Amino acid sequence: MPDETKSPPPPPPENEKPTADKPATPGGVKSTPSGSVQSETTTTPSKPSPSSETSTPPKAAAPATPAKPAAPAAAGHPAPPKPAGPVPTPWDSPLVAKYKREYGTGINPLTHLGQNYFEVDRSLIPEILQLLRDDEKFDYCVDLTAVHYPKREKQFDVVWVLYSFQRNERIRVKTQIADGETVPSSVPLWATCNWLEREVYDMFGIKFDGHPDLKRILLPDGWKGFPLRKDYGILQQDNEWVQINLGIESGQ
């Protein structure tokens, strides 16, 4: 076979000549003391990273928040009392004079923030309401409701709100009753009182004598308690009814 042609090695540097103990080596390699040959690796110095050259100086610490000054010591004088709110004042009119002559202390005419009303003894309620409807033309019963004052001896106010189309005027009639007392029904005077009296009974437990069908109107018949009484807790409920009829432990 013909001999392979080999490239001649490059000549040694001008200032260094090959000797017997230091023969010439190809470019890019170097000889080791044992006579073997290894590649010559050239290391390029690394450039500093831009981030190190342009490093952000540390931020200055935030200034400490100054302590709030202590509240000044309370003076030795108590706060002034709150101003009293509006209170009912006596109401006077030809209508008032007429009924005062007839019923005397049985009625107490008052006005409060432009609302005129009679405080009436419970025993006079049916008669006064009928006279206001027939003689004074208060022929529309706008509402019938109640208010609970648990600290009073007579805990409940029962209130009728009447309106006269002919007079374009409203009047309220109010009476006080103790817990357990009843009130004569007004259904014979205004048919709409049928539902209004049922609602008062449902929410307050007040009964109306002579009502044609007095039963609950919002809550189920077996419910215990009256939610609009002030002593009825806001989260109170009839757990027994809920468990029996809904099959759950609590309605809350």
Residue 1: per-residue pLDDT: 47
Torsion of CA 105, 109, 112, 117, to 10 degrees: 110
What are the tokens at 5?
């042609």
Name the residue type at position 157: D
Confidence of residue 37 (pLDDT cuts 50, 70, 90): very low
Name the residue type at position 19: T
- Out of 81-90, 98-107, 185-194, which region has the weakest mean confidence (pLDDT)? 81-90
pTM: 0.66
Find residue 167's DSSP bridge partners: none
Share of the chain above pLDDT 90, in %: 57
Would you say residue 78 has pLDDT above 70? Answer: yes
Residue owning tokens 């006005």: 111
Under 8 Å between Cβ of 196 and 202: no
Residue 233: per-residue pLDDT: 83
Q: Tens digit of pLDDT for each residue in 193-244?
A: 999 999 999 999 999 999 999 999 999 988 889 999 999 987 777 888 888 8
DSSP secondary structure string for all residues of 122-180:
GGGHHHHHHHHHHTS---EEEEEEEEE-TTSSS-EEEEEEEEETTTTEEEEEEEEE-TT
